[in-house]
Structure 1
Amino acid sequence: MKPPFALLLCLLLPLATAPALAQQGDASAPIEVEADRLDLDDRAGTAVYTGDVDIRQGSMQLTGNRVEIRRNAAGELSRAIATGERAYIEQQPDPAEPVVRGWGRTIIYHVAERRVELIDRAELHQGGDTFDGGYLEYFLDRRVVQARAEGEGVEGRQRIRMTLQPEQ
């Protein structure tokens, strides 16, 4: 059985190792986690943090009232789920690009697909461009946004709003 610290590193390190998600220095940056409580289940492959959770590594930050990290049978991170009144994720993909910031009542980061779902009161900002709605999906590699006014986990109908800044 892995000691809890080693398992914790196995669960979190891949958050910053995906090339489209992080600057090169992010993977070697220390992982900092703050929470009021941690429930670690090695057999289930989960780590659940509760109470004003703040996870940081390099330019990546994930916050929420509750953050659950899941790994697959091979021990690789498969999903990170942050929930709260305003769960938050941010990442600077490249030093020359603006920081990408996202909010929602639920944020799901699918590691293998390099995809982020922002659910209910969803908001995504990149530079001066903004997207708001009930459900936003952001594909990190392709920098593609898909938005819907309604969806699973979305309260009511939340129309899509978008502001795009003109090219300089």
Structure 2
Amino acid sequence: MKRYQLPTARTLLTLALVGMAWGITPALAQQRDAEQPIEVEADQLDLDDVAGTAVYTGEVDIRQGTMRITGDRVEIRRNAAGELSRATAHGERAYIEQQPDPEQPVVRGWGRTIIYHVAERRVELIDRAELHQGGDTFDGGYLEYFLDRRVVQARAESEGVEGRQRIRMTLQPER
């Protein structure tokens, strides 16, 4: 496993990922996003209010402010207090994006599975994982982001995924 400590200059990437929290403070764009209505389009919804789950299937497109997540299937889980605890998107190319600040480029992430763990403030991109912001990119079989620590972990292989997907990273020079 390779670990990368993002340089302070790369906080743009971290700020973008912080916005994925959907309703957890401190990023400005995230606060604006959390105040926006959540819009969902899908072919089917299976809602279990007692279990705290909502499963959307069929070309799912969820938007809230600058936040967007898409997939063939998206499951939202809530804790006992009714707060979002985990969002999981599946698909050939599940997708997540957010613009952390109007002055910064949109952050885009892909994978066959995307999991956001709210309490841990951690995002997983699994199988054919990619993350792009401006000209900076991370690619691999498995990418994991620890938002508060600004740590990226990348692996060529992911559990349950066939074949190696070598890790690649491209960082553009500071301007």
Give the TM-score normalised by structure 2: 0.82
Note if 1:111 corresponds to 2:118. yes
Q: Is the 8 A contact 2:42 2:58 kept in 1?
A: yes
Matches within 5 A, 1:110-149: 110-149=117-156
In terms of mean alpha carbon deviation, does 69-78 or 52-61 score higher?
Answer: 69-78
Deviation of 1:15 (Å)? 4.8
Query: Residue 24 of structure 2 aligns with which residue?
Result: 18
Work out the CA distance in 2 between the residues paired with 1:92 and 1:16: 13
Deviation at 1:141, TM superposition (A): 3.6
The alpha carbon displacement at 1:160 in A equals 0.2
The answer to whether the 8 A contact 2:54-2:77 is kept is yes
Deviation at 1:32, TM superposition (A): 0.8
Q: Distance in 2 between matches of 1:142 and 1:98?
A: 22
Equivalent residue runs for 1:36-115 within 5 Å? 36-115=43-122
The AA in structure 2 aligned to 1:18 is I
Task: Measure how far apart 1:146 and its partner are.
Answer: 1.2
CA contact (8 A) 1:22 1:60 kept: no
Shift of 1:138: 1.9
Query: Sequence identity, in percent?
Result: 83
The two structures, once aligned, show a CA RMSD in angstroms of 1.7
Q: Hey, what's the Cα distance between the residues in 1 that align with 2:160 and 2:110?
A: 14
Return the offset for 1:116.
0.9
Structure 2: stretches of 5+ with no match in the other structure: 1-19
CA distance in 1, matches of 2:26, 2:109: 16
Equivalent pair of 2:145/2:152 in contact (CA under 8 Å): yes
Q: Could you say which residue in structure 2 is the equivalent of 1:31? A: 38
Task: Normalising by structure 1, report the TM-score.
Answer: 0.85
Q: Tell me which of the two structures has the higher relative contact order, counting C-alpha pairs closer than 8 angstroms and 6 or more residues apart.
A: 2
**Aligned-partner SS, 2:32:** helix
Q: In 1, Cα distance between the equivalents of 2:26 and 2:148?
A: 5
- Contact 2:105/2:134 (8 A) holds in 1: yes
| Aligned-partner SS, 2:126 | strand
